[in-house]
Amino acid sequence: MTEQQKSIIKTLREQNFSYNAIAKAMGVTVATVKSYCQRSGLAGNRKEAFQSQSDTPLALPSFCRCCGKQLIQREKVKHRKFCSDECRVTWWNSHPEQVNRRNPHTGKCLCCGKEFTWYGPKPHKFCCHECYIKHRYEGVTCDTETV
């Protein structure tokens, strides 16, 4: 956990937000938030404190999934998850297992004979660019190459 995430958790916990609300806003697990709060002395039941304070914010702030910067949400606009396109691309490239891709296709590479998966409507013949180059310029196919 980064220092920025720790400071955000501390700030939100001092504003009497629950573990679940903080975890949802930051995109981390409830166990992570709870263990950090317990180690930092921020644990305890916040229900009574939340009900007794009238100056607590009604809406939970949201933060960029990549850099942790606070996001400003506008009404009648889709909820933002990232502060910029750079953060969005960086986060999705570093978390490929969380990409929800549809319609996967499998095929056999013409060059090396390896099975591979691709997404999208167009059929693919090669597993990678190197295999395409070998097949195109050197004439290598899976029948002639020893694997």
Domain ranges of the chain: 3-98, 104-138
Checking if the pLDDT of 109 tops 80, the result is: yes
Q: How far is CA 91 from CA 32, 39, 80, 118, in A?
A: 19, 28, 14, 21
Q: How far is CA 123 from the centre of its chain?
A: 28
Cβ atoms within 10 Å, residue 49:
13
User: How does residue 49 score in pLDDT terms, banded at 50, 70 and 90?
Assistant: low
Q: Specify the pTM.
A: 0.43
Q: What percent of the chain has pLDDT over 90?
A: 18
Looking at per-residue pLDDT, the higher value among 45 and 102 belongs to 102
How many residues in total does the chain contain? 147
pLDDT, residue 147, reads 42
Q: CA torsion, points 28, 22, 73, 93, in degrees to nearest 10?
A: -10
